[in-house]
Amino acid sequence: MALIRLEHVSKRYGDRIALTDVSLSLDAGEWVFLVGPSGAGKTTLLRLVAFAERPTSGRVEAEPGLRRTIGSLGQEFRLLSDRSVYDNIALACQIAGIWGRDQIGDRVRPLLDEMGLRALEGLFPGDLSAGEKQRVALARALVRHPRILIADEPTGNLDPAAAAQIFSMMRQFRDRDTLVITATHVEEWTQRHPGRVIRLEQGYVRSDAPAPRVETGSLAQAREAGGA
Q: Binders of ligand ADP among 16-45, rule CB under 6 A?
A: 16, 18, 36, 38-44
Report the nearest approach of ligand ADP to the CB of residue 56 (Å): 11
Report the nearest approach of ligand ADP to the CB of residue 70 (Å): 18
The SS3 assignment for 127 reads helix
Strands 196-201 and 179-183: unpaired
Q: Binders of ligand ADP among 77-116, rule CB under 6 A?
A: none
Q: In 10 A of CB 171, how many CB atoms?
A: 14
- Which residues are registered as beta bridge partners of 198? 34, 208
Report the nearest approach of ligand ADP to the CB of residue 18 (Å): 3
With contacts defined by CB under 6 A, name the span among 11-19, 111-119, 129-137, 158-166 that binds ligand ADP: 11-19
| Closest CB to ligand ADP among residues 8, 145 | 8
Task: Supply the DSSP symbol for 56.
Answer: S
| Closest CB to ligand ADP among residues 52, 222 | 52
Task: Supply the DSSP symbol for 211.
Answer: P
Calpha distance 137→72 (Å, rounded) = 9
| Closest CB to ligand ADP among residues 58, 109 | 58
Report the nearest approach of ligand ADP to the CB of residue 59 (Å): 19
- Size of residue set near ligand ADP by CB under 6 A: 11
Q: To 10 degrees, the CA torsion angle through 11, 38, 172, 70?
A: -30
Q: Angle at the Cα of 211 (from 59 to 1), degrees rounded to 5?
A: 40
The SS3 assignment for 150 reads strand
- Which residues are registered as beta bridge partners of 151? 73, 182
Report the nearest approach of ligand ADP to the CB of residue 38 (Å): 4
13 touching ligand ADP, by CB under 6 A: yes
| Closest CB to ligand ADP among residues 78, 145 | 78
Over the window 43 to 72, marking each residue x when it contacts ligand ADP by CB under 6 A and - when it does not, the resulting string is xx----------------------------
| Closest CB to ligand ADP among residues 36, 125 | 36
Cα four-point dihedral sign 47, 52, 56, 59: positive
Q: 77 in the Ramachandran plot: left (φ > 0), alpha (ψ -120 to 50) or beta?
A: alpha
Report the nearest approach of ligand ADP to the CB of residue 15 (Å): 9
User: What residues line the site for ligand ADP (CB under 6 A)?
Assistant: 13, 16, 18, 36, 38-44
